[in-house]
Structure 1
Amino acid sequence: MAAAETFVFNIAQKVLEKLGSLAFQEARLIWGAEIDLGRFEKTLSIVKAVLLDAEEQQAHNQELTVWLGQLKEVFYDAQDVLDEFECEALRRQVVEMQGSTTRKVRRFFSSSNPLIFRTKMAHKVKEIRARLDEVAADRSKFDLSERSDDRHVVRGREMSYSFVQPSDVIGRDQDKENIVKHLMDPSDGQSISVVPVVGIGGLGKTALAKLVFNDERVIEHFELKCWVCVSDEFVLKQLLVKIIKSITSENRSDLDEEQLQVLLRNNLDGKKFFLVLDDVWNEDRGKWIELRNLLTGVANGSKILVTTRSPTIASMMGTMSPYNLEGLLHQECLSLFIKWAFDEGKERQHTNLVEIGDAIVKKCKGVPLAVKSLGSLLYSKLDEHDWIFVRDNEMWKLNRKEGDILSVLQLSYNQMPSYLKQCFSFLSLFPKDHEFNTLELIPYWLANGLLQSPNENQEMEDIGNQYIDELYSRCFLEDYLDSGYMREFKMHDLAHDLALSSVQSECLIINCQIQNISKMVWHLSYSDNTGQNENVLKCLQKSKSLRTILSPLKGVGPSTKSFVDLCISKFRYLRVLGLSDSSFEVLPSSIGTMKHLRLLDLSKNCRIRKFPNSICNLQNLQTLRLNGCEKIEELPKDIRYLIRLRNLTMITKQKCLPRCSNSLRLLRLFNCGNLESLVETMRVYTRLRLLYLDNCGGLISLFPTLKFLTTLEALFIENCEKLDLTEREDNQDDFPKSLRVLGFIRLPQLVAMPNWIKLSAKYLQVLAIESCLNLTTLPEGLVNLESLRRLTIENCPKLSSLSKGKLCLPALRYFKIAKCPELIRRCQPEIGEDWHKIAHASDIYLDDKRIKKADN
């Protein structure tokens, strides 16, 4: 049977949204396509009404799958045709901005001439309408019912900040004690012994390993601790990079394998070492022995904890019998289910639902992930019918083998709105264990039109963060951290499996061994140096439908200009072109022809020196990433004509920033050492929400800039040693009242925190202070930060107290201090002088140790 077709309903919905927009209504009147577009819209509305039913029924009808595939191809092509109108409107807008008669005359005789454009688009609209009519006519072959997508993203439970909450891990206390005992046992005679934990997916092997990893006895027993998620790939160099990064916090992917081995041995020499290898799939014993041999030289008593689903791997790697993790007892599962399905104590008001829930839990067979997934699915639902639907669902019959819980996760996936499904499946382009953050991820979604259109007061970035919160509440994500201005997280490995299965052929990760790329692949990422592989280039030559090309792995990017030339010449409808970590010297001027491009990532190209000014022809461009392009002298002079640019990450050797569009929402400046002033350019950024200044050593003043940024919500200042943060503190007009997040990082000149923080006291929610080595006092205004919910202070050794007087932080939930000896002493539980000031926070960390508070 053909692979299932997905997201057809959502793509149709996005096309209808564009057709119905006010801007497009005006465009189709101007360009004379009103009649054909009107017929197209009518047919599309009729077809869309049955698409949800068709997507569900296709499991039993291969012909229906083929029909949906044909429709999807038409819808994608329709998006491209409609975008042509939008591109032309933007081009005309820029021509008016340029105001040059010569340019206008030259463009009249070009392919952008209005008469030529009108004729060309009339032909394209007629063609796409005829194709839809032809495919839609086959609708009568199928017995399809009209349905609407009435599922919406709902507000989930309050999010946790902690990577692993012991209170969320139910029923594993004895397992933890057993494993800790093995780790402490010196009697096995091995210089380095391996403790394997084996169990089916979703049992909580990783959660258990985290409990062990963070146990105080383990922390005190070993000199070095290291956590590495292995997942599908067991590539020695990648593992060495991960181990070294876990030990030193440095990413040394720039070193070759021999250099990495030397660095690892130097770090491990003679030390008692504890390594967790999480989620191992490799059954090649030779690869394991190769890694194990590199770990020699550690002190006796060093341990490796391995988690795996495979008993074969556990036996191959272990120096002791595998620790077989069993399912939870029924009562433990029921407690876990209630924790996720109800707010605390509310289950007592709904005994009928608890009774149904008890039957649901029995079917989960002790698998915690299945229990949590279904509990979260039913959270806030009080109608019995919703609970009975889950209890009696057909998906329970799909469990063909013991421990297969993908069908349980599939049920949660099926209940998501269609637009959220497409965003979730897009994550399959990234490898397992990828560390996501929403500043990087959401622009990909936005570029491909996957986010719902916002209401009047909502920004696209906020919608994207809501989607992440919803996916987390459904147990698809883990290691979730809300930093105030972004979310950081990973995908659960089973959720990654689900994403891969749901997306089928639409998304594809390729490597050098790829033999063929289906014409139905729309989004593509590469997992190794495919950009210089002739085989890959041949496969790409045969493809035509790509909308996304990206490289999610650090250090892996195209090194040849031929790959870039191919992308530009072949894929003129690309929305995303990711060329990070590349090493070509020249970006072709033909980049300016890619008028549909929304995201261009050229970051960490250490050889490129100049960008062609034609890059400024990309009027649809929303995100431009240039950080790490160290040899770039200046930005193109016409960058202000990127009138949709909302996310810019850049580096420059200029003294003043070139003016950009007032559409900017996010601006990150890295290594702009010659930059002296921001005033002249910043006054136009009336929509800027996040400003990050990193290593801008020439910057002296900030305040004349800030008064223009009336929408600024997050401000980060890192390693700007000349910047005077205490100037003009009494001028309240110079400070944005919208600020919610504030970060000071590596600022040796900072002795006292600026008192202007009190101007945002009522609204500030997140305050992060890191590596300010000479900081001695916090601002007096700290006592009035009534909205502050997250306070982080790290590596500020001269800071001796939180405040001299009263401290009132009623909203504080997360409090972390590290490498601040005197401050940590004063915040010791129960006995510290400042303990009572922060004791009400739900998450408290002192030097990375989570504080367990006594029960009230």
Structure 2
Amino acid sequence: MEVVGEVFLSALLEPLLGKLTSGDLLNFVRKTQVEKELNKWKRRLSEIDAVLKDADEKQITSSTVKIWLTKLRDLAYDVEDVLDEFQTEALASKVRAESQASSSTVRKLLPTCCAGLNPSAIELNMRTGSRLRDITTRLEAIAKEKNELDVGIMSEQRPKGVKKRVTTSLVKESHVCGRDNDKKAILELLMNDDASNLEYSVIPIIGMGGIGKTTLTKLVYNDESVKFDCKAWVCVSDDFDIPRITKTILQHLGSCEDNDLNVLQEKLKDRLSGKKFLIVLDDVWSNNYADWTALSLPFSAGARGSKVIITTRSEDTASKMGSVGAYTLERLSFDECLRIFTQHALDSRNFDAHLELKEIGEQIVEKCKGLPLVAETLGGLLRHKQNLEEWEDILSSEMWNLPETENGILSALRLSYSHLPSHLKQCFAYCAIFPKDYEFEEGELVSLWMAEGFLKQKRKKKHMEDLGHEYFRDLSSRSLFQRSSSESSDISRFIMHDLISDLARFVSGEICFYLDDTKKEPCSVESYAAVRHSSFTSHRHDISQRFDVFYEMKNLRTFLALPTDLSWFSPDQYLSSKVLDDLVPKL
């Protein structure tokens, strides 16, 4: 599968449309040719924005739609650049009008492309006029292409970018490794009939996609020691449909042909009345407390000691639905992942019968980083294949280049991204500028988001820092950021799992670039012009040749130096003066 990032255009177009209706900007360009051009942009972008949801979903299966979205993404960034220049000059003009004495100071702070401009100057400025006409032409072409694509206006509904996940309660226990202690802990929670006044208890199991929440729950659900009057398993997935979930529970307890929610809930209440039940709600995404309250109304009819288990990636969902503390599932050890991998690849628990594959097999298992789903997927791709070259291909391949039809990892992780609101998609994708295993502080990332202008609020009631920390906590609660195991007692540091880091790079596409010195060709030359955000890890002595590739990045917004370790920059580090004096001014 070709690695082309899923564009997060909704996070770009919404603020663009806001800027195009900005009072200060409109007043500044009023009665000029610029105003006419901006009005054209607003109309076309509004038309495109209306079909963006459908296009974003269809790009998964349509290369034509993906190319169209890529063109639109690049154009949106160019529009934003022009509007930022106009807004800068509009603000400067306003300051000049308020205080003539400060005008010279303001001019010095303006970008050279904007310095000295006023409405009449803008209209006469040949370069600006050419840029405006070029953008209008490109926008008209993109709008025309939209009409030729099979995309339309969609109503609000769950994301469809990936296939809906379906699970059952069946499990092959011989293929499960390393969850004995977790199973014991959940069983203890199930058997604990606490003395609280709750009619039933809700046990949340949380963890990132692919870590084995569903598999653990299956083990518990099918354990012979689990004694309940009735049991039900429901795969909720990303559509928290109360009638469907209620009907599925009823079908576990007997036949049910009704569809009316009131009838369904009355029947469920009657069948649960006085009985000790166990209900599993697997793969829950919704954090809507009202929906959960409505669904759970019949549960109160059950006998004390009844239990509900939910599995979710979201701490917020767990806190709203759970009645006991959430059980966080941790990653497996290397040896446990190895056993899962060899079981699926070789029908064996080790490499004893295939010693020639042992070394490369262990290197492949290192890529799993403790996720059983990855071990199972990679093992399945190599099942009954003992050609060393085929194993080397899997070892050298990026996870996103593996065959999609056989790659459950893609579906599992794409869901995590698809469920993010647009403003969080942009903030998450930006993390692609960090290398794998990079440890970052919450405040560090929030400051970067602020500097990039990613923090948007509809009502100016919060400080930007507070809003940024709210974004960060939201991403962390969705298991996209994890606390670093090497953090000190006084400073909390975070890290992204390798696959989550891969996901960020996948969805950001060419927009984010990390200068990886371990690869001779990090990305194609043709893509450099699309790069907007970049970073590099500082070396003790950074010579200018290391940065030659940056001369191709004509639209760069971020040129970020990252520390080599947690002690930040050493005072004796050296960066070539050519980088500062020649490269940086050209970026």
TM-score category by the smaller chain?
0.5 to 0.7
- Asked whether the 8 Å contact 2:44–2:143 carries over to 1, the reply is yes
CA–CA separation in structure 2 for the residues paired with 1:203 and 1:414: 18
Partner of 1:479: 483
Once the two structures are superposed, residues 798-837 of structure 1 have per-residue CA deviations (whole angstroms, 9 ceiling, x without a partner) of xxxxxxxxxxxxxxxxxxxxxxxxxxxxxxxxxxxxxxxx
The residue number in structure 1 matching 2:81 is 80
Structure (1 or 2) with the greater helix fraction: 2
> What is aligned with 2:139?
132
Other structure's SS at 1:357 match: strand
Q: Distance in 2 between matches of 1:424 and 1:6?
A: 12
**Shift of residue 43, structure 1, vs aligned partner:** 0.6
- The CA deviation at 1:143 is 0.7
**Long gaps (5+) in structure 2:** 109-113, 160-177, 186-207, 224-232, 238-244, 250-277, 286-309, 323-372, 381-407
Q: State whether structure 2 residue 374 is matched by structure 1 residue 373.
A: no
Q: Secondary structure at the match of 1:505?
A: coil
Please report how far the alpha carbon of residue 59 of structure 1 lies from its aligned counterpart in structure 2 after TM superposition: 1.9
Q: 1:440 to 1:329 in 2, by over 3 A?
A: closer
Which residue identity is paired with 1:117?
Answer: I
Residue matched to 1:330: 218
Structure 1 distance, partners of 2:12, 2:478, is 23
| CA distance 1:379–1:128, shift in 2 (3 Å) | farther
Of 526, 531, 550, 1:521 maps to 531
1:172 paired to 2:170: no
- Does residue 549 of structure 1 match 2:559? yes
Q: Which residue of 1 aligns with 2:512?
A: 507
Map residues 107-122 of structure 1 onto 2, 5 A cutoff: 112-114=116-118, 115-120=120-125, 121-122=128-129
Q: 1:449 to 1:487 in 2, by over 3 A?
A: farther
Identity over aligned pairs, percent: 28
Match of 2:496 among 477, 480, 491: 491
Q: Secondary structure at the match of 1:509?
A: strand
How far has the Cα of 1:524 moved from its partner?
A: 1.0
1:297-332 Cα deviation digits (max 9, x unpaired):
xxxxxxxxxxxxxxxxxxxxxxxxxxxxx9646244
Alignment of 1:144-543 (within 5 A): 144-147=151-154, 172=181, 203=211, 328=216, 330-332=218-220, 355=279, 357-358=281-282, 371-373=311-313, 401=378, 405-479=409-483, 489-512=494-517, 513-515=519-521, 517=525, 518=527, 519-529=529-539, 532-543=542-553
Instruction: Give the counterpart of 2:577 among 561, 571, 590.
Output: 561
Match of 1:225 in 2: none
Q: Secondary structure at the match of 1:431?
A: coil
Aligned residue pairs total: 376
Equivalent residues of 1:434, 1:490 under 8 A apart = yes
- Kept after mapping to 2: 8 A contact 1:49/1:148: no
Amino acid at match of 1:432: K
Q: Matched residues in 2 for 1:7 and 1:465: separation?
A: 21
**Is the CA contact (8 Å cut-off) linking 1:53 and 1:145 kept in structure 2?**
yes
Q: Is the 8 A contact 1:374 1:412 kept in 2?
A: no
Q: Deviation string for 1:483-540 (max 9, x for gaps)?
A: 9xx9853323432232222222221211345545522222111134398344433211
Q: CA offset at residue 439 of structure 1? A: 2.3
Contact 2:51-2:152 at 8 Å conserved across structures: yes
Q: 1:359 to 1:569 in 2, by over 3 A?
A: closer
> Secondary structure of the equivalent of 2:313?
helix
**Residue segments in structure 1 that go unaligned for 5+ positions in a row:** 153-168, 177-199, 205-325, 342-348, 362-369, 383-395, 572-856
Report the Cα distance in structure 1 between the residues aligned to 2:551 and 2:6, rounded to whole angstroms: 24
Contact 2:437 2:495 in 1 (8 A): yes
CA contact (8 A) 1:58 1:65 kept: yes
CA–CA distance in structure 1, aligned partners of residues 283 and 42 of structure 2: 47
Query: Contact between 1:429 and 1:524, CA under 8 Å: does it hold in 2?
Result: yes
Rounded to whole Å, the distance in 2 between the matches of 1:562 and 1:433 is 30
Conserved in 2, the CA contact under 8 Å of 1:428 and 1:496?
yes
Report the counterpart of residue 12 of structure 1 in structure 2.
13
Work out which structure has the larger RCO, using CA pairs closer than 8 Å and 6 or more positions apart in sequence.
2
- Could you say if the C-alpha distance between residues 139 and 531 of structure 1 is closer, same or farther in structure 2, counting changes exceeding 3 Å? farther
Equivalent runs, 1:619-630 vs 2, <5 Å: none
* Partner Cα distance (2:424, 2:50) in 1: 19
**8 Å contact from structure 2 (residues 315, 477) kept in 1:** no
Distance across 2 between alignment mates of 1:105 and 1:542:
31
Question: 1:40, CA displacement in angstroms?
Answer: 1.0
Residue identity matched to 2:462: Q
Residue 330 to residue 453, structure 1, CA distance change in 2 (3 Å): same
What SS does the aligned partner of 2:59 have?
Answer: helix
Query: Is the contact between residue 524 and residue 549 of structure 1 (CA under 8 Å) also seen in structure 2?
Result: yes
Deviation track 1:431-480 (CA, whole Å, cap 9, x = no partner) reads 33433333221222122232223413122222212211211221112228
Once the 2 structures are TM-superposed, how far is the Cα of residue 93 of structure 1 from its aligned partner?
Answer: 4.7
RMSD: 4.7
Contact 1:170 1:332 in 2 (8 A): no
Task: Please tell me whether the aligned partners of residues 10 and 422 of structure 2 are also in contact (alpha carbons under 8 angstroms).
Answer: yes
For residues 493 and 527 of structure 1, the distance between their equivalents in structure 2, rounded to whole angstroms, comes to 18
Kept after mapping to 1: 8 A contact 2:437/2:498: yes
**Cα distance in structure 1, aligned partners of 2:445 and 2:582:** 25
Taking the aligned partners of 1:359 and 1:466, their CA distance within structure 2 comes to 24
Aligned twin of 2:362 = none
Q: Deviation per CA, 1:368-404, whole angstroms, max 9, x where unpaired? A: xx9542786687599xxxxxxxxxxxxx9xx955695
